[in-house]
Amino acid sequence: MSQNDTLFGKIIRREIPAAIVYEDDDILGFKDIAPQAPVHVLFIPKNVHIPTLDDASPGDAMLLGRLVLAAAEYARREGLERDGYRVVMNCREHAGQTVFHIHLHLLAGASLGRFGTP
Ligand code: AMP
């Protein structure tokens, strides 16, 4: 993997703890430390470092698809699919991205407000 000095790189390498709830060959899922919904899990690539969605290339298409499908699989496993859930990926400043290793937020467990506005 290319250098990943972000917080999430440390979680991947188990240098700092996280509440891991999903793992496969490519993806790690763990609980967000500051949950914005009753269920708030982050899904990240384990073996490739992509700082933002804008840095992704066509060669990353399969990985990005796996990220979304991992969230859907976890949601089904937890019985969240019936009432539904939201997945979100923040890109850079205006979206409030704070960790520069791409991650998909899964939010569920309550009726969510509409999308954020300025
Ligand atoms: P973003 O704002 O999209 O970059 O999302 C980064 C997320 O990482 C935020 O929702 C934080 O609450 C979360 N976060 C920060 N540190 C940790 C940590 N040590 N373990 C789990 N989640 C974290």
Whether 118 is covered by a domain: the verdict is no
Q: What is the mean pLDDT of residues 18-30?
A: 98
Determine, yes or no, domain membership for 2. Answer: no
Interval 33-43 mean pLDDT: 98
- The more confident residue out of 80 and 114 is 80
| Domain with 103 in it | 7-108
Confidence at residue 115, expressed as pLDDT on a 0 to 100 scale: 81
CB 107 within 8 A of CB 40: yes
Residue 49 counted as domain residue: yes
Chain-wide mean pLDDT for the chain? 96
Q: Is 49 a catalytic residue?
A: no
Look at residue 2 in the predicted model and tell me its pLDDT.
Answer: 53
Residue 12 has pLDDT above 50, yes or no: yes
pTM of the model: 0.97
Pocket test for ligand 1, best of 10, 20, 42 (most atoms within 8 A of CB): 42
- Percent of the chain with pLDDT strictly greater than 90: 92
Q: What is the CATH classification number for the domain harbouring 18?
A: 3.30.428.10
In a domain, 116, yes or no: no
Can you give the pLDDT at residue 118? 78
How many domains does the structure of the chain reveal?
1
Indicate whether residue 18 lines ligand 1 (CB < 6 A).
Answer: yes
pLDDT, tens only, 66-110: 999 999 999 999 999 999 999 999 999 999 999 999 999 999 999
Query: Is position 18 within any domain?
Result: yes
Task: Confirm if 73 and 34 have CB atoms less than 8 A apart.
Answer: no
Q: Quote the CA–CA distance of 17 and 73 in Å, as a whole number.
A: 23
pLDDT of amino acid 1:
47
Q: What is the DSSP string of 65-113?
A: HHHHHHHHHHHHHTT-TTT-EEEE---HHHHT--SSS--EEEEESSPPP
**Residue ID of nearest Cα to ligand 1 atom 19:** 33
Report the C-alpha gap between 100 and 102 in whole angstroms: 6
Quick check: helix, strand or coil at residue 25?
coil
Tokens, residue 11: 């979680």
| CA triple 107-116-7, angle to 5 deg | 55
